[in-house]
Structure 1
Amino acid sequence: MPLAGHWFAENGLWTTFATILAVLRIDHAKDSNGDRIDVKPEYTTGLAIHPEPFHCSFEVVNTTREAHIRAMMNSK
């Protein structure tokens, strides 16, 4: 049976993901010529398997939303 904090954590993650996707476009990184760098999926080995770090780009798609989020972050 999940604890009550589980629901708060899950809701917090969904809110974070929605906020990021509302403001940023996450895409492939580009090299110095402007060509797309393909991601080669590589994973760690062992007990906890997770993806190896990879390059990507973040582009702001809505400056108004970005300003609201920055203001919210600076108000704390």
Structure 2
Amino acid sequence: MSETLMVLPASEPTDIRLVRVPDEFEQHEAFRHVTGLIASIEEENPGYTWEDIAAVLEDHGFEPVDFILGPALD
């Protein structure tokens, strides 16, 4: 199992997500792939939810990971 994780930033801290990247992706490939997947979801379904995105990411091998948000490092 891959140990590479990708943070999906958001303007609202509670909307930040974390996914495990499949082993077959290099970092730059994973970034481009996820960007394309999210863009296609946004284009096809303007009322999308995180569950819609998570389902498509999982279909492509990206595994959502539970995490807790720590204090800000300002």
TM-score by length of 1: 0.31
- Which one has the largest radius of gyration? 1
TM-score by length of 2: 0.32
